[in-house]
């Protein structure tokens, strides 16, 4: 009896030590020489904007990894970080060791060029001007579409609560604003006034702004708001996994967002250059584009997009003179200077 | 028996009754406290576990077993161990210097070393970036030489050392202040050198403070977010700590993934603090 | 010799906290350093142990110069007042600590600690922790711990200071027994004279960093040399007088000066009278010197004996400096002791069956300073103190409510800055005049250096005239600071004041190695100098020569004494003018219009006024 008591006391006293020792062992095992059979594999460091995470980590990269191994026998790893496009851009400006960046906005790529991190418009020399895929902006609504939303204009109806990403940090938000404005603009008899009207109506109903498209999506998923303006890809990807708990509404007129790849050459050592080049080229191959399709993106090759919902009047940012012009004339001059001011936000 | 009952000294039964009454009185304040704590602390923590286990135990297990999750947890633990170890030495040294020596600017230094608790961790992260980052004051010159701690594990470690520095100081210095100088001098006269004295005489006297400080440092490091998010670069499988992983997963909508690791972290913190409380309670009883 | 200290000095904050201490302690001796707190006795101990570093001097332990060795290599045992038992170790582990450092095998350590535990009377308690022991037990453990590795020197710093009386007595006995048994040489520091008497083979008395006297308890009690030792050990009365013609003179009483304590003619002299040396009664025993007739003012019954205090009326040339007389008391209060059963009349004759003339004290000077400026009087007093080889006290007068400690610190810094760090700093708050008078009555001073102004701004500073009117201390009115005092003019009148001024001025001149001119002013219309004036001057010159001073006398005719004095001061270019001052009723009759004040008002150089009853 007494012995058992002593034993118990000893166990009690040793428990914290055992816990900490166990944790230490658990933490260091991967770094112990026994488990690291060879030197660490070469890596590609990629920073991307939020919605590309799974498509790259699970779809595109494993395909490239396999191809590269078959070709060279070398095992490589992808090191990636995904956040809002603006956040990623700022991180790169602060000096994170990104070798490749997949940005939502060409505007962000221009920002990198302005600071001399990449050559001016260097991405234009890549296939398709650096654009790896597209996806249109759509509206997500609650099942059964209780608020009867059919188009962007309907989002301005009273009583509709909208979750929207924040244009300051999110590339998707900027796309959404151009989509919303463009929809009104391109209505018959719409023009600038029509665009302004749609924007104002919609933004009056915005109840939450999230830092990235992904975050806005998470908020909406958690039951917040009646409608979310987001990438079609997100909805399709969830649909494919059986996780979509809302309905997709295709506006008649909407923008096709285009996602730009940027190489940050000063983070690429000469020995890594062939690997990076190969991966960049790979992004436009059938294998990669198929992977993007699997994850809900539309391919840069229009012929492969047949199974997607047909949008009546799709447009691109080039229809508004490219991102520089669109940013200045729509996002800044209309949305920021007029809509926000009028709504007092 | 007369009409007026004589006043008897408190019988055991009466004492027991009065104690019972005190216990029943305690019910109300305790109830209020629980009512306040329930939505404030207990329920949110409970929600983490509920969501973590929504996919059943196998789902939880799968989520925890994900390579990114495993890496994040290991990486966090590793950083926490290193932080606790390094700050145990640095903090004890700082406590020794501040406690035993009198010098000009001593008070200012005392305030400065305690500053990290008062600075928002995001500011700590920013300040580190602005010093060591590739465009920072020092980093600008070091980066071309290939010395770049930011966005690497070293950067995370630096941030954690910075943020948790005051813990050791706070637990060790009071103990040192309490020890008379003659304590050390007694050892000197018996023939013990400075190091031997430190090892055999001072260190054992500081043990309680060291354990407490190290555990606090460890726990804080394990959960550190604000400074880490600034300096780590948030690269999965490379510099992503457990809290960053949880945040990234949550942002990406993988709530189950996020909660699985969150539950593990919460459980770890609970265990650490449980041991800490038991240790301090025992130390108090011994003293 | 086990322990030899040679000229050991430690300076801290500009002050010598240990001042040229030299000492030899023999093998197996238990030596006690006795002193009040802050005297530097503990610092001496710490220097020996190597816990503090000396500024100069050497320490030799058993023939080995350890001055530059760290504490670890000196091999001494040290016992602290606060025990400092290591809390996380058991008693046995504590005792074994020194042995463990010396790599003694554990079995042997165990044996040794058991032995020591028996020796200190704590057998079987080796497994305890400090928190489970009483203070006395902890100190026993500390003693055992310091002895475990058999050091040849044991140092104990107020080891019983934190314990109550009964336990202290027990521990003293234990310490004495163990020290004898182990034959270890020990130095113990204490402020408790009873402890010193009980434990010590020899005692050294420390004050202000100086080792004043060394001797057995009996020697120090019966034949102290210094005022401090005389009053620190045991009770008694100390009287202050002047050395005249080779004898110590205290008012009407003269006593021989022992040959081993040379005294300067004209200089101060002090005698210690223990209570048991005072004989009371009607008439005096044969050959016993008589102090005077006094009244019993206080009686204190203490068992077998009764302690008395006898008041004797004021006498010129006699001052009591210990015990400090109550403020305003001008007579002498003598302490005596008689058997309890003896009854005494109210008035008794006081005679002495024994006494001890103390070594001649250093001249003590006092100067006051308003605030912390480096004023003319302070500069003069500093210079004078250095030149006469005396000690200086600087009294800071803080207005009521001001921070006394801050003022003390500032004055000390100022003194260090001006190379006068040896001076004492005292700060008193309250009315300046009252504070100076209180200071003069509480401690004895040979000379007060005052502002040169006659009627100073009283809120700022007590004027010297006030001190002169109400005290018996000579006052020097400082006007300018001479580079050195080379020539002194003593303006002597005939009669009573003409004696003390010559003696005091002459003694000062001897110390300063200055020339003296004795001046007597005669009336212009007188035909010739009267013979008694010449006789007086001749005696004066003889006195000066006896003091070893080069002195001349001069008679100067003038219409008034003032005129003569002013003329001589101008032509003779003297650095200091000394003038006497009537005492007693004569003073109050003449007020502030007598020659002394006329001279003070009219002359532009420093003037020393010597009261006749100084």
Digits of tens for pLDDT over chain B (287 positions)?
334 444 444 444 444 445 555 556 677 888 888 888 888 888 888 888 888 888 788 889 999 998 889 999 999 999 999 999 999 999 999 999 998 888 888 888 888 888 888 889 889 988 988 888 877 888 888 877 877 788 889 999 999 999 999 999 999 999 998 888 899 999 999 999 999 999 999 999 898 899 999 999 999 999 999 999 888 888 888 889 999 999 888 877 778 888 899 999 999 988 888 888 888 887 766 65
Of A26, A53, A94, the CB nearest to B129: A94
Find the residue in B nearest to A215 (Cα).
B251
User: Do C82 and B180 make contact, defined as CB atoms within 8 angstroms?
Assistant: yes
Distance of CA B126 to CAs A94, B136, B167, B244, Å?
Answer: 10, 10, 21, 16
**Contact between A19 and B253 using a beta-carbon 8 Å cutoff:** no
Per-residue pLDDT of chain A (345 residues; tens, 9 = 90+): 456 677 787 777 788 888 888 999 888 887 766 554 456 788 899 999 888 888 998 999 999 999 999 999 888 988 888 888 888 898 898 888 899 999 988 889 999 999 888 888 889 989 898 999 999 999 999 999 999 999 999 999 999 999 999 888 888 899 999 999 999 999 998 889 999 999 999 999 999 888 888 888 888 888 889 999 999 998 998 888 888 889 999 999 999 999 999 999 888 989 999 999 999 999 999 999 999 999 999 999 888 888 999 999 999 999 999 999 999 999 999 998 998 888 876
User: Which has the higher per-residue pLDDT, C175 or B53?
Assistant: C175
* Strand, coil or helix: C334: strand
Closest chain A residue to the Cα of B155, Cα to Cα: A96
Contact across the interface for B77 and A23, Cβ inside 8 Å? yes
| Interchain proximity C146–B183, CB inside 8 Å | no
Interface test with B, best of C66, C69, C87, C155 (most B CBs within 10 A): C87
* pLDDT value of position C465: 80
Residues C472-500: what's their mean pLDDT?
82
Per-residue pLDDT, C32? 97
Nearest beta carbon to residue B133 from set A29, A82, A95: A95
Contact A50 B134 (CB under 8 A): no
Percent of chain C with pLDDT over 70: 94
Residues of B in Cβ contact (< 8 Å) with C74:
189
* B201 shares contact with chain C (CB less than 8 Å): yes
What are the chain B neighbours of C143 within 8 Å (beta carbons)? none
Query: What local confidence, expressed as pLDDT, does residue B1 receive?
Result: 37
> What is the per-residue pLDDT for B7?
45
> Bridge-partner residues for C8, per DSSP?
C21
The shortest CB-CB distance from B193 to any of C72, C88, C146 is to C72
> Which is more confidently placed, B164 or C420?
B164
For chain B, give the longest Cα–Cα distance: 102
User: Which of A16, A94, A212 has the CB atom closest to B133's CB atom?
Assistant: A94
Contact flag B207-C74 (C-beta cutoff 8 Å): no
**Chain A residues closer than 8 Å to B251 by CB:** 50, 83, 211-212, 214-215, 218
pLDDT number for residue C498: 63
Q: How much is the pLDDT for A345? A: 63
Cα distance from A92 to chain B (closest Cα, Å)?
9
Q: Indicate the length of chain A as a whole number.
A: 345
C523: pLDDT strictly greater than 80 = no
Instruction: Give dist(CA C581, CA C468) in Å, integer.
Output: 9
Check whether C247 has a pLDDT greater than 70.
yes
CA distance A338 to chain B (A): 31
- Rounded to an integer, the average pLDDT of C372-394 is 87
- Across the range C142-157, mean pLDDT stands at 95
Neighbours of chain B (3+ CB pairs under 8 A): A, C
C78 lies within 8 A of chain B by CB: yes
Question: Which residues pair with residue C311 across a beta bridge?
Answer: C295, C333
Confidence at residue C333, expressed as pLDDT on a 0 to 100 scale? 92
Q: How far apart are CA C477 and CA C454, in angstroms?
A: 8
> In the predicted model, is pLDDT for residue C591 greater than 70?
no
Interface test with A, best of B233, B246, B254, B274 (most A CBs within 10 A): B233
Who's near A229: CB < 8 A, 6+ residues apart?
A: A137, A138, A139, A140, A152, A155, A162, A164, A176, A179, A180, A202
CB contact under 8 A, B185 and C84: yes
Task: Give the residue from C34, C44, C141, C140 showing the smallest Cα distance to C97.
Answer: C141
Q: Which residues does chain B have within 8 Å of residue A81's beta carbon, measured at their own beta carbons?
A: 233-236, 240
Whether B235 sits inside 8 A of A215 (CB atoms) is: no
User: pLDDT tens for residues C22-72?
Assistant: 999 999 999 999 999 889 999 999 999 999 999 999 999 999 999 999 999
CB contact under 8 A, B185 and C102: no
| Interatomic CA distance for residues B275 and A159, integer angstroms | 53
pLDDT at A290: 93
Pairwise CB contact (< 8 Å): A218 & B250: yes
Shortest Cα–Cα distance, B226 to chain A (Å) = 15
pLDDT at C372 over 70: no
Question: Strand A247-249 vs strand A227-231: parallel, antiparallel, or unpaired?
Answer: unpaired
Chains C and B touch (3+ CB pairs under 8 A): yes
pLDDT confidence of residue B5: 41
For chain B, say whether C545 makes contact (Cβ under 8 Å).
no
Chain B nearest CA to C179, separation (Å): 18
Q: What is the pLDDT of residue B43?
A: 86
Q: Give CA–CA dist A73/A38, Å, rounded.
A: 14
Model pTM greater than 0.90? no
Question: Is the Cβ pair B252, A53 closer than 8 Å?
Answer: yes
Please answer whether residues A273 and A211 qualify as being in contact, where contact means their C-beta atoms are separated by less than 8 angstroms. Answer: no
Q: B190 and chain C: CB distance < 8 Å anywhere?
A: yes
Rounded-to-integer distance, Cα C450 and Cα C453, Å: 8
| pLDDT for the residue numbered A299 | 93
What crossing angle do the helices spanning B255-286 and B203-223 adopt, rounded to 10°?
160
Predicted-complex ipTM score: 0.77
Longest CA pairwise span in chain C (Å): 106
Band the pLDDT of C533: cuts 50, 70, 90. Answer: confident
pLDDT above 90 (res C225): yes
> Using the beta-carbon criterion (under 8 Å), do A27 and B78 form an inter-chain contact?
yes
Nearest to B235 among A15, A45, A57 (CB): A45
Distance between A341 CA and the closest CA of chain B, angstroms: 30
Who's near B105: CB < 8 A, 6+ residues apart? none
Closest CA of chain B from C77, distance in Å: 6
Let me know if chains A and C touch, i.e. at least 3 Cβ pairs under 8 angstroms. no
Q: Predicted confidence band at C497 (pLDDT cuts at 50, 70, 90)?
A: low
């Amino acid at each position: 009896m007494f012995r058992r008591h002593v034993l118990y006391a000893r166990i009690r006293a040793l428990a914290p030590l055992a816990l900490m020792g166990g944790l230490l062992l658990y933490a260091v095992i991967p770094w112990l020489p026994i488990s690291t059979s060879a030197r660490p594999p070469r890596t590609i460091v990629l920073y991307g904007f939020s919605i590309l995470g799974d498509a790259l980590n699970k779809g595109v990269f494993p395909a490239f990894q396999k191809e590269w191994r078959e070709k060279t026998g070398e095992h490589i790893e992808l090191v990636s970080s995904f956040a809002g496009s603006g956040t990623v851009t700022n991180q790169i400006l602060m000096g994170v060791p990104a070798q490749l960046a997949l940005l939502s906005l060409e505007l962000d790529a221009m920002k990198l060029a302005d600071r001399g991190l990449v050559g001016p418009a260097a991405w234009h020399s890549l296939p398709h001007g650096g654009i790896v895929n597209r996806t249109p902006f759509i509206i997500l609504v609650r099942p059964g579409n209780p608020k009867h939303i059919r188009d962007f204009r309907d989002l301005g109806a009273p009583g509709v609560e909208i979750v929207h990403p924040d244009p300051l940090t999110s590339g998707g938000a900027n796309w959404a604003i151009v989509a919303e404005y463009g929809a009104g603009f391109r209505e018959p008899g719409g023009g600038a006034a029509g665009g302004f009207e749609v924007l104002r109506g919609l933004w009056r109903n915005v109840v939450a702004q999230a830092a990235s498209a992904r975050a806005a999506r998470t908020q909406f998923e958690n039951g917040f708001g009646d409608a979310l303006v987001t990438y079609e890809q997100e909805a399709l990807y969830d649909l494919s996994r059986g996780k979509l708990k809302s309905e997709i509404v295709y506006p008649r007129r909407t923008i096709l967002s285009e996602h730009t790849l940027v190489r940050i050459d000063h983070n690429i050592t000469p020995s890594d250059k062939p690997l990076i080049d190969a991966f960049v080229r790979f992004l436009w191959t059938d294998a990669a584009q198929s992977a993007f399709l699997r994850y809900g993106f539309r391919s840069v090759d229009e012929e492969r997009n047949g199974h997607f919902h047909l949008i009546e009047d799709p447009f691109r940012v080039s229809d508004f003179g490219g991102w520089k012009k669109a940013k200045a004339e729509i996002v800044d001059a209309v949305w920021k200077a007029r809509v926000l001011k009028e709504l007092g936000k | 028996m007369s009409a007026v009952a004589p006043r008897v000294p408190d019988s055991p039964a009466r004492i027991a009754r009065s104690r019972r009454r005190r216990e029943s009185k305690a019910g109300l304040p305790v109830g209020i406290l629980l009512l306040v704590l329930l939505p404030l602390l207990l329920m949110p923590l409970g929600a983490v576990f509920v969501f973590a286990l929504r996919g059943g135990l196998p789902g939880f297990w799968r989520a925890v077993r994900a390579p990114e999750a495993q890496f994040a947890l290991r990486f966090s633990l590793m950083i926490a161990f290193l932080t606790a170890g390094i700050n145990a030495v640095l903090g004890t040294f700082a406590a020794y210097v501040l406690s035993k020596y009198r010098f000009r600017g001593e008070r200012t230094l005392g305030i400065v070393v305690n500053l990290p608790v008062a600075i928002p961790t995001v500011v700590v992260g920013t300040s580190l970036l602005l010093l060591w980052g590739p465009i920072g004051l020092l980093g600008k010159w070091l980066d071309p030489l290939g010395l770049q701690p930011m966005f690497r594990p070293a950067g995370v470690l630096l941030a954690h050392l910075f943020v948790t520095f005051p813990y050791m100081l706070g637990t060790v210095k009071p103990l040192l202040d309490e020890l008379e100088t003659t304590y050390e001098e007694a050892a000197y006269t018996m023939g013990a050198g400075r190091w031997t004295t430190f090892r055999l005489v001072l260190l054992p006297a500081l043990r309680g403070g060291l354990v407490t400080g190290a555990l606090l440092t460890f726990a804080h490091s394990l959960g550190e977010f604000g400074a880490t998010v600034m300096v780590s670069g948030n690269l999965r499988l490379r510099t992503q700590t457990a809290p960053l992983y949880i945040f990234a997963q949550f942002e990406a909508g993988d709530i189950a993934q996020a909660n699985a690791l969150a539950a593990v972290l919460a459980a770890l913190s609970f265990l650490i603090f449980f041991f800490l409380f038991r240790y301090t309670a025992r130390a108090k009883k011994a003293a | 010799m086990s322990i030899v200290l040679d000229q050991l000095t430690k300076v801290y904050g500009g002050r010598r906290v240990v001042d040229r201490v030299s000492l030899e302690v023999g093998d197996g001796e238990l030596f006690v350093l006795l002193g009040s707190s802050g005297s530097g006795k503990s610092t001496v101990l710490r220097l020996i142990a190597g816990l503090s570093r000396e500024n100069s001097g050497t320490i030799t332990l058993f023939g080995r110069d350890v001055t530059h060795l760290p504490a670890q290599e000196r091999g001494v045992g040290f016992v602290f007042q606060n025990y400092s038992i290591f809390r996380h170790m058991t008693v046995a582990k504590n005792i074994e600590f020194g042995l463990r450092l010396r790599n003694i095998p554990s079995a042997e350590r165990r044996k040794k600690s058991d032995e020591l535990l028996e020796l200190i009377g704590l057998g079987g308690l080796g497994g305890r922790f400090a928190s489970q022991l009483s203070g006395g037990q902890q100190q026993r453990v500390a003693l055992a711990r310091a002895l475990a590795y058999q050091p040849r020197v044991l140092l104990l710093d107020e080891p019983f200071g934190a314990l109550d009386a009964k336990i202290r007595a027990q521990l003293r006995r234990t310490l004495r027994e163990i020290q004898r048994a182990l034959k270890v040489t020990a130095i113990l520091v204490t402020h408790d004279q009873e402890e010193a008497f009980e434990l010590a083979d020899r005692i050294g008395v420390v004050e202000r960093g100086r080792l004043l006297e060394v001797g057995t308890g009996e020697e120090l009690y019966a034949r102290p040399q210094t005022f401090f030792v005389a009053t620190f050990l045991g009770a008694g009365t100390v009287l202050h007088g002047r050395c005249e013609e080779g004898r110590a003179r205290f008012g009407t009483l003269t006593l021989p000066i022992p040959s081993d304590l040379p005294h300067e003619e004209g200089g101060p002299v002090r005698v210690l009278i223990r209570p048991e040396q005072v004989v009371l009664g009607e008439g005096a025993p044969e050959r016993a010197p008589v102090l005077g007739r006094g009244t019993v003012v206080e009686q204190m019954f203490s068992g077998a004996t009764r302690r008395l205090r006898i008041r004797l009326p004021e006498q010129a040339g006699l001052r009591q400096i210990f015990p400090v007389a109550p403020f305003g008391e001008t007579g002498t209060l003598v302490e005596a002791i008689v058997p309890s059963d003896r009854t005494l009349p109210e008035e008794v004759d006081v005679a002495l069956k024994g006494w001890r003339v103390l070594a001649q004290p250093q001249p003590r000077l006092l100067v006051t300073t308003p605030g912390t400026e480096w004023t003319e009087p302070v500069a003069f007093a500093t210079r004078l103190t250095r030149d006469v080889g005396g000690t200086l006290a600087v009294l800071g007068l803080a207005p009521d409510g001001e921070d006394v400690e801050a003022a003390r610190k500032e004055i000390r810094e100022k003194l260090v800055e001006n190379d006068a760090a040896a001076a004492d700093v005292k700060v008193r708050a309250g009315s300046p005049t009252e504070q100076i008078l209180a200071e003069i009555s509480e401690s004895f001073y040979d000379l007060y250096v005052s502002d040169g102004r006659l009627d100073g701004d009283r809120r700022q500073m007590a004027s010297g005239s006030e001190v002169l009117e109400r005290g018996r201390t000579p006052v020097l009115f400082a006007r300018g600071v001479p580079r050195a005092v080379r020539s002194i003019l003593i303006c002597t009148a005939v009669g009573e004041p003409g004696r003390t001024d010559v003696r005091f001025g002459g003694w000062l001149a001897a110390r300063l190695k200055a020339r003296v001119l004795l001046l007597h002013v005669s009336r212009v219309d007188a035909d010739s100098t009267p013979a008694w004036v010449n006789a007086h001057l001749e005696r004066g010159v003889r006195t000066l020569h006896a003091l070893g001073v080069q002195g001349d006398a001069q008679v100067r005719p003038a219409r008034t004494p003032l005129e003569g004095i002013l003329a001589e001061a101008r032509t003779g270019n003297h650095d200091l003018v000394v003038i006497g001052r009537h005492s007693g009723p004569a003073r109050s009759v003449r007020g502030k219009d007598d020659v002394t004040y006329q001279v003070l008002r009219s002359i532009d150089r420093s003037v020393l006024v010597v009261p006749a009853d100084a």
